[in-house]
Amino acid sequence: MKTIGFIGTGFMGSALATAAYNSGMDTRILLANRHKEKAKALKEKIGGEVCDNETIAKEADYIFLGVKPQILPVMYEGIKDILKERKDDYIIVSMVAGKDIAVLKKMFFDHPVIRIMPNMPVSVGSGLSLYTFSDDVKKEDRDFFLKLMETSGTLLESDEHLMPAVGSVTGCGPAFAAMFIEALADGAVQCGVGRKDAYVYAAEMMKGTAELYLKTKQHPGAIKDSVCSPAGLTIEGVRTLEKLGFRSALIEALIATFEKRV
């Protein structure tokens, strides 16, 4: 049995701990958080054991770091001596923003590192998580990790140097997508549709269009063209979006998030 420890049970930490529980694998799950009531609330949902960071540092085979970058140094100071004294193997799984594998390996005494970048929909099992392994993560440990996390959604391996750019799409994109759903629903409300129905119609449309692309791999432009009849309604809407800078606004938003990351 593997022991899986989660240091930080906020939104993302809780989502990944839930995925670990839902994997059905024979694991012992440890939950630690600065605010113990958060860990206790998660325990009520998925089971596991509420403990402290030190217990995870002593006992976990996989140590998930779900803390904010500014909290990492303080958290690290509290467990570094324990980790340094460990004679057995352990793996660091980090979702700490901006901390690359080289930095993490230096901090954690050159132990294997899995860097993961999940997005918000992991909380409902429909997420997209980027991951990359340090070279010393063994195949059996890679396979175990992927099986452990498979119920969180899609897992895609990424070159680490591309993570800031890809992460802007996968991590920030849900906010942009939610704004699109909200704006489209606002337009529908203006045209007489009820608010609750408008949100459902917009969200289901986005979900279906995404599935259409993922299943057919049709170019997005071709999907757009197939909906646009000559002198029809859709091309009129496309013309208006182009006039108002729809695509340019999205491109600039993505570049802005990328530049802030780096």
Same domain, 217 and 115: no
119, 135, 158: which is the final residue of a domain? Answer: 158
Which residue range forms the structural domain that includes residue 146?
A: 2-158
The CB density around residue 98, as the number of other CB atoms within 10 Å, is 11
Same domain, 43 and 70: yes
- Tens digit of pLDDT per residue, the chain (262 long)? 999 999 999 999 999 999 999 999 999 999 999 999 999 999 999 999 999 999 999 999 999 999 999 999 999 999 999 999 999 999 999 999 999 999 999 999 999 999 999 999 999 999 999 999 999 999 999 999 999 999 999 999 999 999 999 999 999 999 999 999 999 999 999 999 999 999 999 999 999 999 999 999 999 999 999 999 999 999 999 999 999 999 999 999 999 999 998 7
**Separation CA 206–CA 203 (nearest Å):** 5
pTM, entire model: 0.94
3-state secondary structure of 84: helix
137, 158, 179: which is the final residue of a domain? Answer: 158
CATH at residue 172: 1.10.3730.10
* Total of domains in the chain: 2
Which letter does DSSP use for residue 169 in this model?
I
CATH at residue 47: 3.40.50.720
Which letter does DSSP use for residue 162 in this model?
G
Q: Which amino acid is at 133?
A: F
158, 188, 214: which is the final residue of a domain? Answer: 158
Same domain, 62 and 136: yes
> Mutual orientation of helices 195-216 and 220-227 as an angle, nearest 10°?
120
Same domain, 128 and 231: no
Q: How far is CA 222 from CA 56, 205, 213, 226, 245, in A?
A: 51, 17, 10, 6, 20
Q: Which amino acid is at 142?
A: R
The CB density around residue 1, as the number of other CB atoms within 10 Å, is 8
